[in-house]
């Protein structure tokens, strides 16, 4: 199973690379709307997305469905780190808090997903904590996205 988890994480990583490519192209001006979407970098980025999707489907052959979203969330971390180093984006306190909550979310969810054998065995306290952490994470990520949109 570890091989498939690594494939899944690689898929998330290349998907994040694709997002950075698309974001870097979005900041450029284009002669026409058609050229904005039909240029080499954008086409390559969408091809990378396609390959990422295929890898994810392949990885799901042996990765439990409950673990997939946990692994997928690492993309937020990759995009933030690459955005900082490649796009020279600022990482503020709210974004760092959001990333910390994402990491906590991954840890809490992975504790349960690795042990659960049946959905009926879910401990209500773990479920409540997971819902709370997810809710806080979504609120902070929404605020960070709104701040980025306003900037």
Q: Higher pLDDT residue, 65 or 134?
A: 65
CA 133 to mean position of chain CA atoms: 16
pTM check: above 0.85: no
Residue 65 has pLDDT above 60, yes or no: yes
Rounded to a whole number of angstroms, the distance between the first and last alpha carbons of the chain is 43
Share of the chain above pLDDT 90, in %: 33
* Residue pointed to by tokens 């039909």: 38
pLDDT for position 32: 79
The pLDDT value given to residue 88? 92
Residue 112's pLDDT is what?
63
pLDDT at 10: 97
pLDDT at 113: 55
pLDDT in tens, 83-137: 999 999 999 998 888 888 888 877 777 676 555 444 444 454 455 555 556 556 6
pLDDT band at 148 (very low <50, low <70, confident <90, very high): low
């Amino acid at each position: 199973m570890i091989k498939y988890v690594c494939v899944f994480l690689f898929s998330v990583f290349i998907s994040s690379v694709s997002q950075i490519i698309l974001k870097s192209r979005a900041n450029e001006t284009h002669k026409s709307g058609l050229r904005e979407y039909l240029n080499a970098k954008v086409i390559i980025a969408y091809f990378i997305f396609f390959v990422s999707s295929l890898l994810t489907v392949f990885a799901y052959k042996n990765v439990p469905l409950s673990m997939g979203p946990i692994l997928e969330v690492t993309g937020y971390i990759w995009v933030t780190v690459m955005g900082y180093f490649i796009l020279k984006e600022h990482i503020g306190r709210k974004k760092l808090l959001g990333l910390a909550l994402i990491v906590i979310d991954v840890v809490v969810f992975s504790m349960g997903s690795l042990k659960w054998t049946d959905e009926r065995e879910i401990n209500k306290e773990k479920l409540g904590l997971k819902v709370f952490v997810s809710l806080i994470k979504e609120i902070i990520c929404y605020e960070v996205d709104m701040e980025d949109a306003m900037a």
